[in-house]
Structure 1
Amino acid sequence: MRLILVFLLVYLSICAQLSAQNKQLLYDFTDIPDALMVNPGMLTDFEWYVGLPIISGVSVQAGSNAITVHDLFAADGLDFNDKVMDRMIYKLDENDHLSSTNQITLFNGGFRGRNLNDFYSFGIYSETDGIGYYFKDYAILAIEGDSIQSPRSFNLNHLNTRAEMVNVFHFGINRKIDKKLTVGARAKIYSSVLNFTSTENKGHFITTEGERNLVANTLDADLEVKTSGLNNIVDAWENDRSQLPGIVARRMFFGGDLGFGADFGFTYHLNKKTVITGSILDLGFVYNSTDVKNYTLKGSATIEGIEAILPVAPSDADKDYWQVLVDDINEMVPYSTNNDSYITFRPTKLYGSLRYNFGKPIPSRRGYDCKDYVREGRGYDSYNNALGGQLYVVNRPKGPQAALTAFYLHRFGNAMAIKTTYTVDKFSYSNIGVGLNLQAGPVNLYLMADNLLAYNNLADSHYASFQFGLNIISWGKK
């Protein structure tokens, strides 16, 4: 239990605060095949595509909504300990958090079916996702201690965290229903590497004046930390690190806990130039049953310290009064472990957008015969300009987190496209991003980065993000 708590404290205290990954630059960027991963119902005109392993889709994101590295380590003449206390320990509150969602695509591809309205996609990617809310009362109790002069109730529900690493196997279908509507769905199998979660804690700790002693400490606790797959990894790290790659590899490929999920999305043309889109991702769960170890602390007790009854105590010198106190606490607030399996739900994400296309039409590269072209019309034509707005929401333990984005996209023929975004969320009100897509024959390369205004001083930045990918695309023969 001590190792798990230390891990949680280090994870929450030292790591930079990370924001849940919003792929606003990639979303509805229909020139890029990887955009199917954030909307399985986007418009597609590819005959087939394949992503190069490992580098076909990489996304990393980090930021802080309350404190930066510069706040603590700047050479400003202030004492470091004072800065930690004033700018972190007391400034942050229990709703400040770190959260992260990072992905690496191991393999992906797609192809058009015999029915030209159907496009199939498939692949494997590895994802880590975690969130930890700042445990303010725990930190203050550890630093200040409790006081009878100014009694305060310390909330135990400030411990609220979860993290997981999963490998995701997916297969999707994208179907053009008619010239106005395109829909898509994707099935997913999750192969979990590890999970820990502690999100439903309750209780308090308070010190008051005692009746039989100077002080009375009251603990009312309902705490639980659930772990799956973590203990074997910790054991391997401490005893034989050469086993770690094998453990992780087996669990990534169906040797760990399994789960199932789905994505859904659509694109709908209100008219020839106005388009709305939407998607919901990771409606799913994982059944955690491998290497499970859970830790609980449940009960209520009021303790007034070590009580030595005089004059009997001196004659009972062999009595361990400290151990008696510990035993009494364990009896009233029992600490226990178990190996019960449990279910965790994936962090569901929601996207939506309204886009207006204008300027010069750019015909699709897709190859049609005359019959198909007449039947389908020019429904896949794009324009060299588009602007609009996007909404992003992710489900988290203390409620949803949202972001709003305004964007402008410009295409330079079929060879290059640039998308610029301005995003407002909890972490930044000045997040400007740029995404560049290059098409050199069949080779597709894209690079994307957020919060560009802060890149001149990353240490003082609240947010940084980048994505890149490399794909081979075919549109068939004209």
Structure 2
Amino acid sequence: MYRIYIAYILILLIVGSVSAQDNTQIFLKGIPQNNIMNPAFRPVDGWYIAMPALGGVQINGENSGFSWNDIIRPDATSDSTVIDLDYAAGQLQDLNTFATEATLQVLGLGFSVREHTFLSFEINHRLKARANYPKALFDLRNGNWNYEGNAPINHDLSDMYVHGVDYNEIAFGWSRILNSKFTIGARAKIILGVAHVESEYVDAKFITEENSLVSLQSSMAVRTNLPLDIGYDDEGYVSSVELSDSFGADDFLSTKNKGFAFDFGVTYQATEKLLLGASVIDVGSISWTTETTQLSTSGTFLFEGVDVSDEITGEEGGEDDYWAQLEADFKEAFKVEDANEVYSTGLMGNFNVSAFYQFQPWLNFGVLSKNYVIDELFLPEASFSVGLSHRKVISSAITYTMKKNAPSNLGTGISVRAGAFQFYAVTDNLLSLFDPENAQYVNGRIGINLIFDKKKEEL
């Protein structure tokens, strides 16, 4: 059991720290992708093509709880390393989060229509995953009794939450200059779901009574559209669950799980140099209709201790029967049921507020507030930037981003253009590239565009 627990913690660490939307790209002038977080932005004054499968490759991740070096630490008595759960637990807040997000821009293009309208079209493949985990998950290592205080220890894991979604996205964007002050934009998205898993609810508590009796009270449900091979016992309850081998490459092109989403944005030119913006991103849902399964259980298991009399007396016979009976009692307490129903889920959207100040033609400053609400947990982020540019040849930005339990992230971005060819690269945490073991937030995005100006300019 302890090995399983350690494995779970390591998986949480690896998934959360090596693989959510990058902020620096919004500050990088002249790249078509800087309107991802606000569709009202007009990225170019002519037209562009994002190179197929190369226009934008993004992979981001964060773990607000701890970094790799917080849990894998040097052994004080030798030259080796050890798993130090005590130190890692000391870095945690009561409720922590990790997130993974990846995007592949399969195709992107956009163009101006007259002077006031800009249209765009994109095809993207996207993956999003977020989870909340309580500090109590790590406190399980301390057992259920405080021997110094001679008092029971209870553990509440009810704040755990997992949500992962993978889908293809076909997006149609529109931006319109209303007057000298206001520009509005919207993006309509057709969503084609590939895979989904979500914990609908988790209510789990380890309760220890004064007489040392331990009870596990649990009620939880998980739903997914992944194809599962489910086994049943004689009473019709779920006895085993395995991922089916039928899930293959064709499922990534499925059009059976449909949904729609929208982005909305607005910008306001407050002064000649100050531009304000606001947007909401990924407002919508996916309807999951294929291979849907809900697994649920609810019950209470009472553990009264282990009979070790045979071990003391040296007699044989009862140990195997005892553990077999304990396993049977546990399964009897938590009978798992399954159901197959169509369901809908959201896309884990966000809302953003931004401000940009063009101090000089070559120098600008910016600030971005990006905010998520995941399972009723508010997750704010804030980024500040200084940008340097030279006409349309080169643009750069240096950013400082503050996130939950990870307040210091120095990022940078650069785009270089030669004629119509443009290459760009951004990251919100530059130091993680050189010291990934201590990073709680890692991300990056690179891409290649072809940009054709409406009016030919000498670069």
- For the superposition of Structure 1 and Structure 2, which TM-score range results when normalised by the shorter chain? 0.7 to 0.9
Q: Given the superposition, is the C-alpha separation of residues 67 and 11 from structure 1 closer, same or farther in structure 2, using an over 3 Å criterion? A: closer
**Aligned residue pair count:** 427
| Corresponding residue for residue 420 of structure 1 | 398
Aligned to 1:292: 292
**Counterparts in 2 of 1:230 and 1:459: CA distance versus 1, 3 Å:** farther
Structure with greater proportional helix content: 1
Q: Is the Cα contact below 8 Å between 1:279 and 1:352 reproduced in 2?
A: yes
The match for 2:250 is: 247
Q: State the alpha-carbon separation in 2 of the partners of residues 298 and 402 from structure 1.
A: 34
Within the alignment, does 1:279 sit opposite 2:279 as a pair?
yes
Secondary structure of residue in 1 paired with 2:384: strand
Aligned to 2:265: 265
Distance 2:181 2:92 in 1: 48
Q: Which amino acid aligns with 2:294?
A: N
**Which whole-Å deviations, capped at 9, do the CAs of 1:419-474 have from their partners, x for residues lacking one?**
11122222433322221111211112111123334544332333332211111111
Kindly provide the CA deviation profile for residues 186-221 of structure 1, in whole angstroms up to 9, marking residues without a partner as x. 1112211111111521242223366xxxx5443332
Aligned residue for 1:370? none
Choose 71-80 or 408-417, whichever is displaced more: 71-80
CA deviations 1:333-382 (Å, max 9, x no partner) are: 532122223221111112211122132xxxxxxxxxxxxxxxxxxxxxxx
1-side partners of 2:10 and 2:171: how far apart? 30
Using a 3 Å threshold, how does the CA distance of structure 1 residues 326 and 434 change in structure 2: closer, same or farther? Answer: closer
Gap regions ≥5 residues in structure 1 = 308-316, 360-382
**Please, what is the CA RMSD of the aligned residues?**
3.4
Deviation at 1:386, TM superposition (A): 1.4
User: Deviations 1:223-276 (Å, cap 9, x if unpaired)?
Assistant: 1111112538xx9x9786xx654333333xx14x22111001111101211110
Question: SS at the partner of 2:426?
Answer: strand
The separation in 2 between residues aligned to 1:104 and 1:196, in whole angstroms, is 21
- Aligned positions of 1:162-311 closer than 5 A: 162-208=163-209, 216-231=213-228, 245-251=248-254, 254-255=255-256, 257-300=257-300, 302=302, 304=304
Partner in structure 1 of residue 451 of structure 2: 473
Partner of 1:369: none
Instruction: Encode CA deviations 1:292-337: one digit per residue, 9 max, x unaligned.
Output: 1221111346565799xxxxxxxxx9xx887777666656553212
The letter of the residue matching 2:295 is Y
1:58 aligns with 2:41: no
Residue among 403, 412, 420 paired with 2:381: 403
The structure with the largest strand share of the pair is 2
Change (3 A) 1:26 1:81: closer
In the alignment, structure 2 segments of 5+ residues that lack a partner are: 230-239, 308-317
Q: In structure 2, what is the equivalent of residue 344 of structure 1? A: 345
Displacement after TM superposition at 1:184 (Å): 0.5
Counterpart of 1:87, as a letter, is Y
Q: Kindly provide the amino acid, as one letter, of the partner of residue 175 in structure 2.
A: N
Q: 189-198 or 422-431, which moves further after superposition? A: 422-431
Structure with greater Cα Rg: 1
Per the normalisation by structure 2, the TM-score is 0.82
Matched-pair contact (CA < 8 Å) for 2:155–2:205: yes
**Distance between the aligned counterparts of 1:284 and 1:18, measured in 2?**
28
Code of the aligned partner of 2:226: G
- Structure 1 residues 457 and 98, CA gap change in structure 2 (3 angstroms): same
1:29 to partner: Cα distance: 3.4
Partner of 2:40: 41
TM-score normalised by length of structure 1: 0.79
- Checking the alignment, whether the CA contact within 8 Å between 1:12 and 1:132 is kept in structure 2 is no
The CA deviation string for residues 380-411 of structure 1, in whole angstroms up to 9 with x for no partner, is: xxx32211322111222251211122211222
- Measured in 2, the distance between the counterparts of 1:78 and 1:125 equals 51
State the secondary structure of the residue aligned to 1:437: strand
